[in-house]
């Protein structure tokens, strides 16, 4: 039996390390994604952590280096919940790869995305307890897992600017949807950086380090950066990339799925939309004529700023072939780019072009 048999409902792109997306139909069925349907993105080994022996270390530019057991965290600090969506920066990479090939990458569809109600303690409270020194500008996270990159063993790490780290939505979480974190999702503790690409939310969190510079960990310094379309693996100057932080405004059609055949007439179209910058989604629009005209969809479910919203619309479609396109607008008047071609980048990140499906109506 496969070690990951509990994830049999997922679309498995890679077994070891496990990389698996959530099929769009069950994804759109529940606003909070059940743990066994929650996408999994891993770069290295999955560490097995003994909860009793586990200690979180806080060090670097702090007045006092500290260590916490899980019980310490639960008893010494107030607990908070946030409903937040995690999305991998590589979501919709398959559309970028269709423009120009991307080598050695997991070719995700719009499926490395899920939402949970997370419970944990505020990073703010932990950092206050340790005492933040004046020179500290970044908070670096390091996990217990080990990946293999550029011929070396490296741990998985990230960093965020101190200002974001101190925001009230940033938690160290031990529960998702009222259950302990599953091993794949970072048991016993992970960072949760709502609104940022999933890569910043380090699982199996081992150390938190306050420092004056961003993390030099491979996954912060080289991976998860975005470069202009003319830059390739061969020509790249790693210092020139833009560090991925906030998730780009995006919307996706979940049902019907691409290539389906349906009976002509009223068709219910459903999907999700996400805005990462703490700006609410204002409007979702659908087009059946490549964007010449648009019809509004109804936003049917949303909670706080950090989670996706669900939308739906019923379109009356005549027989024949048809394409349905979706785009979202946020409250600041921002919308998604039309075409995927100009978004190509050799790492395959941040595709938020209009999402489109083809349907055949019989």
Ligand X SMILES: Nc1nc2c(c(=O)[nH]1)N[C@H]1C(S)=C(S)[C@@H](COP(=O)(O)O)O[C@H]1N2
Site for ligand X, rule CB under 6 A: 38-43, 86, 88, 143, 145, 156, 185, 198-199, 201-204
Q: Which is nearer to ligand X, 46 or 327 (CB)?
A: 46
Q: Which residues, other chains included, contact 215 with Cβ-Cβ below 8 Å and sequence gap of 6+?
A: 138, 140, 141, 142, 157, 158, 159, 209, 221
Q: Which residues, other chains included, contact 232 with Cβ-Cβ below 8 Å and sequence gap of 6+?
A: 346
Q: Which is nearer to ligand X, 131 or 183 (CB)?
A: 183
Of these partners, ligand X, Mo ion, none, which one is at the site of residue 164 (CB under 5 to 8 Å by kind)?
Answer: none
CB of 145: closest distance to ligand X in angstroms? 5
Of these partners, Mo ion, ligand X, none, which one is at the site of residue 156 (CB under 5 to 8 Å by kind)?
Answer: ligand X
Using an 8 Å Cβ cutoff, are 255 and 310 in contact?
Answer: no
Any long-range contacts for 6-9 (C-beta under 8 Å, 24+ apart)?
A: 6/36, 7/36, 7/40, 7/184, 9/36, 9/37
Of these partners, ligand X, Mo ion, none, which one is at the site of residue 225 (CB under 5 to 8 Å by kind)?
Answer: none
Residue nearest to Mo ion (CB): 88
Of these partners, Mo ion, ligand X, none, which one is at the site of residue 207 (CB under 5 to 8 Å by kind)?
Answer: none
Using an 8 Å Cβ cutoff, are 315 and 269 in contact?
Answer: yes
Of these partners, Mo ion, ligand X, none, which one is at the site of residue 77 (CB under 5 to 8 Å by kind)?
Answer: none
Question: Under DSSP, is residue 187 helix (H, G, I), strand (E, B) or coil?
Answer: coil
Q: Which is nearer to ligand X, 60 or 198 (CB)?
A: 198
Of these partners, Mo ion, ligand X, none, which one is at the site of residue 202 (CB under 5 to 8 Å by kind)?
Answer: ligand X
Q: Which is nearer to ligand X, 99 or 154 (CB)?
A: 154
CB of 338: closest distance to ligand X in angstroms? 26
Q: What are phi and psi of 45, to 5 degrees?
A: -70, 155
Binding-site ranges for Mo ion (CB under 5 A) = 41, 88, 198-199
CB of 356: closest distance to ligand X in angstroms? 24
Question: Under DSSP, is residue 185 helix (H, G, I), strand (E, B) or coil?
Answer: helix
CA atoms of 171 and 125, how far apart (whole Å): 9
Q: Which is nearer to ligand X, 20 or 359 (CB)?
A: 20
Using an 8 Å Cβ cutoff, are 158 and 232 in contact?
Answer: no
Q: What are phi and psi of 98, to 5 degrees?
A: -75, -25
Of these partners, Mo ion, ligand X, none, which one is at the site of residue 42 (CB under 5 to 8 Å by kind)?
Answer: ligand X
Return the structure tokens found at 233.
């693996």
Q: Which is nearer to ligand X, 170 or 317 (CB)?
A: 170
Q: Which is nearer to ligand X, 219 or 227 (CB)?
A: 219
| HSE, side-chain direction, 13 A CA sphere, residue 50 | 2
CB of 104: closest distance to ligand X in angstroms? 15
């Amino acid at each position: 039996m496969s070690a990951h048999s509990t994830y049999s409902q997922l679309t498995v792109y890679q077994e070891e390390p496990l990389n698996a997306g959530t099929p769009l139909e069950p994804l759109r069925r529940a606003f909070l994604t059940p743990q066994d349907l929650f996408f999994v993105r891993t770069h290295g080994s999955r560490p097995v952590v003994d909860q009793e022996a586990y200690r979180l270390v806080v060090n670097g530019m702090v007045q006092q280096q500290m260590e916490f057991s899980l019980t310490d965290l639960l008893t010494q600090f107030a607990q908070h919940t946030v409903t937040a969506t995690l999305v991998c920066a590589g979501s919709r990479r398959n559309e970028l790869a269709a423009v120009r090939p991307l080598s050695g990458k997991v070719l995700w569809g719009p499926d490395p995305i899920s939402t949970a109600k997370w419970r944990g303690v505020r990073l703010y409270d932990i950092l206050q307890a340790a005492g933040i020194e004046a020179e500290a500008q970044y908070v670096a996270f390091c996990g217990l897992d080990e990946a293999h990159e550029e011929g070396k063993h490296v741990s998985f790490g990230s960093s965020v600017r101190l200002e974001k780290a101190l925001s009230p939505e940033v938690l160290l979480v031990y529960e998702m949807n009222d259950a302990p974190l599953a091993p794949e999702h970072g048991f016993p503790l992970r960072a949760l950086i709502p609104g940022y690409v999933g890569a910043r939310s380090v699982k199996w969190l081992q150390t938190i380090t306050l420092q004056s510079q961003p993390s030099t960990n491979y996954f912060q310094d080289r991976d998860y950066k975005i470069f202009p379309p003319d830059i390739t693996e061969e020509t790249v100057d790693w210092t020139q990339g833009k560090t991925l932080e906030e998730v780009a405004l995006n919307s996706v059609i979940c049902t019907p799925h691409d290539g389906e055949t349906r009976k002509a007439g009223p068709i219910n179209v459903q999907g999700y939309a996400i805005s990462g910058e703490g700006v609410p989604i204002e409007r979702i629009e659908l087009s059946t004529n490549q964007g010449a005209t648009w019809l509004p969809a109804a936003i049917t479910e949303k909670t706080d700023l950090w989670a996706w919203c669900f939308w739906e619309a019923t379109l009356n479609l005549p027989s024949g072939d048809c394409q349905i396109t979706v785009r979202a607008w946020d409250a600041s008047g921002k919308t998604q780019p039309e075409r995927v071609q100009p978004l190509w980048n050799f790492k395959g990140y941040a595709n938020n072009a209009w999402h489109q499906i083809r349907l055949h109506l019989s």
